[in-house]
Amino acid sequence: MTVNSYTRGQALADLLARRIVLIDGAMGTMIQRFRLDEAQYRGAGLSGRPADARFADHPGDLKGNNDLLSLTRPDVIRQIHEGYLAAGADIIETNTFGATSIAQADYGLQAWAREMNLVSARLAREACDRYATADRPRFVAGALGPTPRTASISPDVNDPGARNVTFDELEQAYHEQALALIEGGADVLLVETIFDTLNAKAALFAIERAFDDSGERLPVLISGTVTDASGRLLSGQTVAAFWASVRHARPLAVGLNCALGAALMKPYIQELARVAEGTYISCYPNAGLPNPMSETGFDETPQDTSRLLHGFAAEGLVNIVGGCCGTTPDHIAAIGATVAGCAPRAVRWHRDE
């Protein structure tokens, strides 16, 4: 049996062997509820201090750059973290889904990417430490998103060989991000919403280099995204092929998130649970299908999502559950209540391990 040696996050690995663990819900959905305007994205309205002068006169729109809020409106991010922790989340994700230099270049803020990750990790760390108890630890997952560019897909329909980013550029951006998340106090690193596996492989390579550089070794969680009913990632892989491509990283858990609600995601979680050996399984789906008339922008109520995920747990498919787009602390509380009595999926080991 192969076992990783962690300098941090071992308590999460131990917890996963005993019960189903709860990860938080959507950050973007909760930020939208604050209805922040352009000035507020630049720091206006933060109690006790003026708007961040570094961004007050920045050219171009910054509204919608959620990662920037860790610097300009930490009160908003702190409130969201605490809402999920109060709802029972064992793991909260840092507000860093788009905090790479590559993604931030769209706003002209690539120079601030490291600080965004460092501060975001510290905000999540502080929130977890406030809610943690001796018998209920809380964990910070440093989130590494997919970036808006793809290493294996052409952005030009007339030129299949065209690329707008290289593997080395992705790896460098992810390396900067991973180092800052580690320094800020993350317990685990989460490579999530993977629609291009080559991007994910750059992230995993960067994480390994960050471990070597920092002297730390954290558990790694990997979460892919099946984009439609074809059962494939955007870059064309099936769930089984995706696992074959990333299993070398020896993740603590592998799973799926985003794009689909739980009902449509179920056959792919079943497939992943069947083929993935030596690892736990995570699942945090959207709250069903998009619905602009809904308060969250998605159809499912907390009762809907929790009922569906209870089915996953009852079948012994999962170890980590939570929510993605459209989910709120109410969804997480409901999910936690419904899976509390279910046994976690037993890790399947290859006979040679």
Annotated binding site for Zn(2+): 258, 324-325
β-pair partners for 282: 255, 320
Cβ contacts of 14 within 8 Å, gap of 6 or more? none
Which residue ranges make up the annotated binding site? 258, 324-325
Which two structure tokens, joined as six digits, stand for 61?
């729109």
Rounded (5°) CA angle 311-316-317: 80
Question: 3-state SS of the chain: helix, strand, coil percent to 5?
Answer: 45, 15, 40
Residue 242: closest CA among 218, 223, 215, 260: 223
Q: Is 38 left (phi over 0), alpha (psi -120 to 50) or beta?
A: alpha
Per-residue DSSP letters for 285-317?
EESSSB-TTSSSSBS--HHHHHHHHHHHHHTT-
- Rounded Cα–Cα distance for residues 254 and 279 (Å): 7
Backbone angles phi, psi at 228, to 5 degrees: -160, -170
- Rounded Cα–Cα distance for residues 107 and 349 (Å): 45
Interhelix angle 302-314/329-339, nearest 10 degrees? 30
